[in-house]
């Protein structure tokens, strides 16, 4: 989902997997987070989910097959990493 949005919405090509995306761009803190930044979730060092920050404390993400694309608070799970991929 995030790869598609970045490619078609911003013209930015990023890797396919969330694990690879987590190494792309520049890491930022929650205080520095801007719309378009990617928020990564997982357990330990393993990344298993990614959402895109859209502002106002919310991310948009592909949740599950049954719930589809939805918005959630950016910290609905404990983030592992936040990456700026747009070069701001």
Positive/negative CA dihedral, 65, 70, 76, 77: positive
User: What percent of the chain has pLDDT above 70?
Assistant: 99
> Is residue 44 scored above 80 in pLDDT?
no
| Maximum distance among all Cα pairs of the chain, rounded to whole angstroms | 34
Q: What is the dihedral of CA 8, 5, 82, 21, to 10 degrees?
A: -70
Provide the whole-model pTM.
Answer: 0.92
The closest of 26, 9, 11 to 38, measured between CA atoms, is 26
The closest of 82, 62, 81, 83 to 12, measured between CA atoms, is 83
> Is residue 21 scored above 90 in pLDDT?
yes
């Amino acid at each position: 989902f995030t790869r598609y949005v970045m490619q078609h919405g911003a013209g930015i090509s990023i890797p396919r997997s969330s694990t690879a995306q987590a190494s792309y761009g520049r890491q930022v803190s929650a205080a520095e987070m801007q719309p378009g930044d990617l928020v990564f979730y997982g357990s330990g060092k393993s990344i298993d989910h990614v959402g895109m920050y859209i502002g106002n404390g919310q991310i948009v993400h592909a949740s599950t097959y049954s719930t589809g694309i939805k918005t959630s608070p950016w910290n609905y799970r404990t983030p592992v990493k936040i990456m700026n991929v747009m070069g701001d």
